[in-house]
Amino acid sequence: MSLVMKPRIAIRTPSDRDIPALVALVNVLAAENSNLFINPIDGPDGQATLKTYLDGIAVSGNEAVLVAEADGVLAGLLTATRGFHPAKRGVATIGIGVRPAYRGRGIGRALMRGIEEWAAEAGVHRLELSVVTSNLVAIALYRSCGYAEEGIMRASARVAGQPVDQLMMAKPI
């Protein structure tokens, strides 16, 4: 029997020094073929674009990007975007991904706690997400973090050329 050691996890906003590692993390997550809807980033050109994006987020206050650093490795990423209309400013849609080698070690849960802290400070009263219905591990995580199922969006995405359903989940803050 082998024991999986839980890494030390730091949840934080990425800095300029993280950009190459963040590009690599996004590209690892984008290479997955089933459950994550992330576009890859071109390394050389993408680093400048990513820096501009992160600088814009820091100024706008409308979005958040959090990374999970585990034992010196960027192991997870969570993004949140608030609505632009005044009636939707208190609602943020989140997306999350964790490197396959780091799953099951508390990183997803730590990122979820981190975004709740951001939401409380930003005046967000509701966090929401969608998840492919076949991603049972992620659904279990979200449920355990207090997210409730709100409905299924039928054939709302295509994975490997096939339509897939997504489950909408949300949590009031």
How many other CB atoms are there within 10 angstroms of residue 158's CB atom? 9
Q: What is the CA radius of gyration of the chain?
A: 16
Domain assignment present for 16: yes
35: helix, strand or coil: coil
Domain assignment present for 14: yes
Domain assignment present for 93: yes
Each of the 173 residues of the chain gets a pLDDT tens digit; together they read 555 566 799 999 999 999 999 999 999 999 986 677 888 998 778 999 999 999 999 898 899 999 999 999 999 999 999 998 999 999 999 999 999 999 999 999 999 999 999 999 999 999 999 999 999 999 999 999 999 999 999 999 998 889 999 999 999 99
Q: Which CATH number do you get for residue 103?
A: 3.40.630.30
* Secondary structure E strands in 83-121: 91-98
Look at the chain and report how many structural domains it folds into. Answer: 1
Domain assignment present for 92: yes
29 near 38, Cβ under 8 Å?
yes
pLDDT for the residue 159: 86
Domain assignment present for 154: no
Host domain of residue 94: 9-126
| Cβ neighbours of residue 66 closer than 8 Å, sequence gap 6 or more | 11, 12, 13, 77, 78, 79, 111, 114, 115, 118
